[in-house]
């Protein structure tokens, strides 16, 4: 439904048609949603009983839209004597400024009506077409229409009111309007969402009312966000556009947890995944660290609040485990879904420690690292005490909630993502390879924090010893001899699940790969079976389940590639990292700067453009974060002590790249990278970016005064 218009603020969002109307059946994904509940499923404007036709829609910002409408049949434009403007902004509930202009030289009398209704569907019900078991009610409180839903003690309400005089009935508001010749009429409509928990009471639209128009408070926070981000200068215009798009989208994806008002973490995707996901929030925070450390700080604090504290099979919870996903709708409330929160993921817990360490490297915020010491230790304990399901020293996963839990608890979470070369699927538990890399990295980074911040040397040494042992065993047990790469997983019998997949790139990022094996892994990553010319495929061409438009079995994920590029840099493969960056950023140009979750794995020379995956979620947080991480890898940014080391390796075709005012423990620093080829006149669809001769790389960095 490409005509859908979406605006949002955190987990509150409105999806309407391009006239601004909402008229949803249970399974239609349109309406006003907040806290995973639909608060309006009907919102239809009529004048004299007739709906209006859109002339144009402006998506002004991600939180506001403006609809220009005229009466008429829609097929033929009749010289309208009226025009209608709906300007809608979301923030809390939503606010709509409705204006009608009379272009005639006679006065008009109009019957203006907003028809309103709500099914209070849970997001999960919209997805799975499930029926409700509670009761609906409507009431009129003075000038206000209240729509409500009640199931036992669970209650949700929508409050609708207007500034102009209206006749309110149980299904909407009617305005008897007279507009003078060439005059106009306007009213503000307020829609507030009410729930007993967790925000308490009714959330009123939050606005700054200035002279001209209502403006959600979040507008100011967007200005501040953009103002504080590092500035990018580059002779490649498309990269600048991609960077700007990423910053704005990331701002839209910010989500303030109930417990931490005013603080933001990255939600997973817009609009259906505007909630806390352990894995997505952590990966996106890592990608964004050189640009904004606040996302990481909030992610670390919020995930700690919800760290698992008990054994709970329904939620796949263990002590120390970091959550997978949190939801607030009716099905979660009545434990028909386990998302209160749900813990079934095997990677977020080690990744939590990775993020904590990386955060400290950038910010020097040792206070937070001390505050979160108990959390980090519990996370590290989880690796050994609860995740080693087979007693072989590797993290593996097998859900305990067999009804509504997740089968695959790694990032490739679709049913067929983990397979042998011949396409067979292994049983459970499954120990996917990247989990072992994360565990290794978590132990190494935990050791650094133990030594430098927690001042527990014995613990640091113990973690390092465990990590060294894990690395040694891993390089022996996962190495596929006849293919010279690491197996995708070990199965329940300890046998190798031997398909070649992009996961081996994450192993480089984690540092678990023996130096001797690194070059072989890189050869695989950059070989034609995995590398399409745009990026590394999730599964190699030629494997039994390979499908260039299979979700985790052949498509290319920009997020995946950004971490692979980081891994390549970690092992010194600068040129290869630059090629990955070039391919993904080239693809971004085709998507107007907004990389989708995934795109097709077809060879680049075959399609010439990246083929969009049919139902990819967009914008999605870690895809939005991918260009940010790729900027980091191209410039070779690495915090070392109180310094930021800059070691650029730009793809061929980028003449110069500057990232100015990079915030961190050093204050603010500018990073410069220089290539050899000026691409100012090379437009879209230019040749694939390649690699630079080593002598073309001139690292420069200079410290800068803090501007404030």
Partner 1 sequence: MADVTRQFFEGLAAKGHEPLLESFTGTLRFDLRDGERTEHWYVVLTRGDIVVAHDDGDAEAVMGTDLATFDAILSGEMNAMAALLRGVVTMHGRSILLLAFQRLFRGSVGAGDELRTAGYSRERS
What is the pattern of x (binds partner 1, CB under 8 A) and - over residues 498-537? ----------------------------------------
- CA–CA distance from 577 to each of 229, 424, 435, 505 (Å)? 24, 32, 22, 11
CA dihedral sign, ordered 429, 434, 436, 442: negative
The distance of closest approach from Cβ of residue 19 to partner 1 in the complex, given in angstroms and rounded to an integer, is 34
| 26: helix, strand or coil | coil
Nearest to partner 1 of 249, 365 (CB atom): 365
3-state secondary structure 624-645: HHHHHHHHHHHHCCEEECCEEE
Measured from the CB atom, the residue of 210 and 310 that comes closer to partner 1 is 310
**What is the largest distance, in Å, between two alpha-carbon atoms of the chain?**
87
Q: Let me know: does 339 contact 265? Beta carbons within 8 Å.
A: no
Distance CA 159, CA 156 (A): 10
**Distance from C-alpha of 564 to C-alpha of 561, rounded to nearest angstrom:** 5
Work out how close the CB of 42 gets to partner 1 at its nearest, in angstroms, rounded to a whole number: 25
Cα–Cα–Cα angle for 285, 289, 292, nearest 5°?
A: 95
Looking at the Cβ atoms of 470 and 626, the one nearer to partner 1 is 470
Sign of CA dihedral 362, 367, 369, 372: negative
Element (H, E) at 371: helix 366-371
Residue among 180, 226, 259, 682 that touches partner 1 (CB under 8 A) = 259
Q: Which of 129, 226, 371, 682 binds partner 1 (CB under 8 A)?
A: 371
**Strand 485-486 relative to strand 479-480, pairing:** antiparallel
The contact pattern for partner 1, residues 320-339, with x = CB under 8 A and - = no contact, is: --------xxx-xxxx----
What does the alpha-carbon distance between residue 113 and residue 412 come to, in Å, rounded to a whole number?
48
Q: Residue 291: CA atoms inside 13 Å, Cβ hemisphere, count?
A: 28
Task: Pick from 100, 121, 295, 383 the residue near partner 1 by CB under 8 A.
Answer: 383
Q: Distance between CA 605 and CA 688 in Å, rounded?
A: 10
456 binds partner 1 (CB under 8 A): no
In the complex with partner 1, which residue's Cβ is closer, 198 or 495? Answer: 198
Considering beta carbons, is residue 328 or 563 the nearer one to partner 1? 328
Q: Cβ of residue 195: shortest distance to partner 1, in angstroms?
A: 8
Say which residue the tokens 């991918």 belong to. 626
Which of the stretches 57-65, 243-251, 366-374, 682-690 binds partner 1 when contact is defined by CB under 8 A? 366-374
Q: Closer CB to partner 1, residue 260 or residue 677? A: 260
260 binds partner 1 (CB under 8 A): yes
Part in contact with partner 1 (CB under 8 A); list of ranges 3-11, 49-57, 152-160, 292-300 = 152-160
Contact, 377 vs 383, CB < 8 A?
no
What is d(CA 420, CA 545) in angstroms, rounded to the nearest whole number?
A: 9
Nearest-angstrom CA–CA distance, 553 and 546: 5
Q: Which of 198, 494, 690, 703 binds partner 1 (CB under 8 A)?
A: 198
Instruction: Return all residues near 526 (Cβ < 8 A) that are at least 6 apart.
Output: 576, 579
If one asks whether residue 462 binds partner 1 (CB under 8 A), the answer comes out as yes
> How, if at all, do strands 231-234 and 656-664 pair?
antiparallel
Closest distance to partner 1 from the beta carbon of 565 (Å): 30
Q: Which is nearer to partner 1, 306 or 551 (CB)?
A: 306
List the interface residues with partner 1, window 386-415 (CB under 8 A): 386-389, 391-393, 400
Under the criterion CB under 8 A, does residue 202 sit at the interface with partner 1?
A: no
If the CB atoms of residues 317 and 491 are measured against partner 1, the closer one turns out to be 317
What minimum distance in Å lies between the beta carbon of 477 and partner 1?
A: 13
Tokens of residue 598, six digits: 């995934």
For partner 1 (CB under 8 A), the number of binding residues is 52
Q: At its nearest, how many Å lie between partner 1 and the CB of residue 469? A: 6
The site map against partner 1 for 18-57 (x = CB under 8 A) is ----------------------------------------
Q: Which residue has the tokens 């949603």?
A: 33
Nearer to partner 1 among residue 260 and residue 526 (C-beta): 260
Q: Do 123 and 36 touch, CB atoms closer than 8 A? A: yes
Query: Whole-number minimum distance, CB 272 to partner 1, in Å?
Result: 19
Binding residue for partner 1, selected from 28, 169, 384, 661, defined by CB under 8 A: 384
- Residue of 117, 341, 593, 627 interacting with partner 1 (CB under 8 A): 341
Among 135, 152, 695, 705, binds partner 1 (CB under 8 A): 152
> Angle, nearest 10°, between helix axes 294-305 and 278-288?
160
Indicate the Cα dihedral angle 359, 363, 366, 372, nearest 10°.
-30
DSSP 8-state assignment for residue 651: P
Comparing CB distances to partner 1, the nearer of 304 and 500 is 304
Find the shortest distance in angstroms from Cβ 318 to partner 1.
7
CB 225 within 8 A of CB 182: no
Q: Cα separation of 22 and 4, whole Å? A: 10
Shortest distance, position 201 Cβ to partner 1, whole Å = 10
Please, what is the minimum distance in Å from the beta carbon of residue 386 to partner 1? 6
Which CB, 195 or 692, lies closer to partner 1?
195
Which CB, 225 or 394, lies closer to partner 1?
A: 394
Give min distance, CB of 471 to partner 1, in A: 11
Q: What is residue 695's DSSP assignment?
A: G
User: Among 197, 226, 457, 682, which residue interacts with partner 1 (rule: CB under 8 A)?
Assistant: 197
Of 278 and 290, CB closest to partner 1: 278
Instruction: Give CA 222 to chain center in angstroms.
Output: 17
Q: Which of residues 304-323 bind partner 1 (CB under 8 A)?
A: 305-307, 309-315, 318-319
Q: How far apart are CA 443 and CA 461, in angstroms?
A: 10
Among residues 155 and 638, whose Cβ is nearest to partner 1?
155
Site membership for partner 1, residue 385 (CB under 8 A): yes
CA 657 to chain centre: 26
Would you say 456 or 484 has its CB closer to partner 1? 456
For position 167 contacting partner 1 by CB under 8 A, the verdict is no
Question: Considering only 79-87, 109-117, 255-263, 649-657, which stretch makes contact with partner 1 by CB under 8 A?
Answer: 255-263
- The continuous run of DSSP H or E covering 574 comes out as helix 574-590
At 409, list the tokens.
Answer: 């608890």
CA 540, CA 303: separation in Å to the nearest integer? Answer: 34
Contacts with partner 1, 464-493, as mask; x by CB under 8 A? -xx--xx-----------------------
Strands 656-664 and 50-51, sheet pairing: unpaired
Query: Which residues of the shown chain bind partner 1 in the complex (CB under 8 A)?
Result: 152-155, 196-198, 200, 258-260, 305-307, 309-315, 318-319, 328-330, 332-335, 340-341, 371-372, 374-375, 383-389, 391-393, 400, 462, 465-466, 469-470
């Amino acid at each position: 439904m490409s005509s859908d218009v979406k605006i949002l603020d955190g987990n509150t969002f409105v999806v309407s048609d391009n006239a601004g109307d909402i008229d949803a059946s249970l399974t239609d994904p349109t309406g006003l949603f907040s806290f995973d509940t639909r608060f309006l499923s009907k919102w239809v404007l009529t004048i004299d009983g007739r709906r209006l036709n859109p002339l144009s829609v402006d998506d002004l910002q991600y939180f506001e839209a403006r609809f220009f409408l005229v009466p008429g049949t829609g097929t033929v434009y009749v010289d309208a004597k009226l025009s209608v403007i709906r300007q809608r902004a979301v923030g809390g509930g939503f606010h709509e400024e409705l204006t009608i202009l009379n272009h005639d030289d006679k006065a008009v009398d109009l019957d203006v009506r907003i028809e309103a209704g709500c099914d209070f569907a849970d997001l999960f019900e919209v997805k799975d077409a499930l029926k409700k078991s509670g009761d609906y009610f409507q009431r009129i409180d003075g000038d206000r229409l209240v729509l409500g839903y009640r199931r036992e003690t669970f209650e949700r309400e929508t409050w609708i009111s207007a500034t102009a005089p209206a006749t309110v009935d149980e299904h909407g508001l009617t305005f008897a309007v007279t507009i003078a010749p060439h005059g106009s009429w306007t009213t503000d409509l307020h829609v507030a969402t009410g729930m007993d928990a967790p925000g308490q009471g009714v959330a009123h639209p939050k606005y700054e009312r200035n002279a001209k128009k209502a403006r959600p408070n979040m507008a100011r926070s967007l200005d501040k966000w953009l103002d504080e981000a590092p500035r990018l200068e580059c002779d490649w215009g498309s990269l600048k556009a991609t960077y700007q798009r990423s910053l704005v989208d990331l701002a839209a994806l910010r989500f303030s947890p109930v417990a931490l008002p005013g603080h933001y973490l990255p939600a997973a995707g817009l609009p259906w995944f505007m909630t806390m996901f352990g894995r997505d929030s952590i990966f996106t925070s890592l990608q964004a660290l050189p640009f904004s450390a606040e996302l990481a700080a909030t992610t670390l604090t919020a995930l700690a609040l919800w760290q698992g504290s008990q054994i709970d099979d329904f939620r796949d919870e263990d002590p120390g485990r970091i959550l997978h996903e949190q939801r607030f709708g009716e099905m979660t409330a009545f434990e028909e879904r386990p998302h209160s929160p749900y813990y079934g993921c095997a990677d977020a817990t080690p990744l939590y420690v990775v993020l904590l360490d990386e955060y400290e490297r950038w910010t020097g915020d040792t206070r937070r690292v001390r505050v979160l010491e108990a959390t980090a230790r519990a996370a590290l304990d989880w690796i050994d005490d609860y995740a080693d399901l087979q007693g072989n020293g590797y993290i593996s996963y097998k859900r305990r909630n067999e009804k509504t839990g997740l089968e695959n608890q790694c990032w490739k979470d679709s049913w067929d993502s983990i397979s042998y070369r011949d396409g067979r699927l292994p049983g459970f538990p499954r120990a996917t390879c990247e989990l072992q890399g994360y565990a290794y990295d978590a132990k190494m980074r935990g050791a650094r924090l133990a030594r430098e911040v927690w001042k527990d040397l014995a613990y640091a040494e113990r973690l390092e010893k465990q990590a060294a042992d894990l690395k040694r065993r891993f390089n022996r047990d996962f190495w596929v001899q006849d293919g010279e790469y690491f197996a995708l997983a070990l199965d329940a019998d300890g046998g190798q699940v031997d398909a070649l997949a992009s996961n081996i790139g994450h192993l480089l990022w984690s540092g678990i790969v023996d130096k001797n094996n690194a070059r072989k892994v890189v050869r695989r990553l950059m070989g034609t079976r995995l590398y399409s010319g745009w990026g590394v495929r999730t599964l190699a061409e030629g494997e039994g389940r390979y499908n260039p438009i299979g979700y985790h079995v052949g498509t290319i994920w920009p997020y995946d590639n950004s971490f692979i590029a980081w891994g390549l840099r970690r092992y010194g493969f600068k040129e290869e990292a630059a090629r990955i960056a070039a391919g993904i950023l080239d693809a971004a140009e085709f998507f107007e700067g907004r990389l989708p979750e995934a795109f097709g794995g077809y060879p680049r020379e075959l399609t010439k453009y990246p083929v969009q995956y049919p139902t990819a979620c967009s914008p999605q947080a870690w895809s939005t974060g991918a260009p940010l991480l790729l900027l980091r890898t191209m410039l070779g940014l690495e915090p070392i002590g109180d310094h930021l080391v800059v070691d650029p390796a730009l793809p061929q075709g980028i003449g110069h790249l500057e990232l100015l005012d990079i915030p961190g423990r050093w204050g603010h620093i500018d990073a410069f990278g220089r290539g050899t080829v000026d691409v100012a006149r090379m437009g879209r669809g230019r040749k694939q970016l390649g690699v630079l001769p080593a002598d073309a790389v001139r690292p420069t960095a200079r410290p800068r005064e803090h501007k404030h």
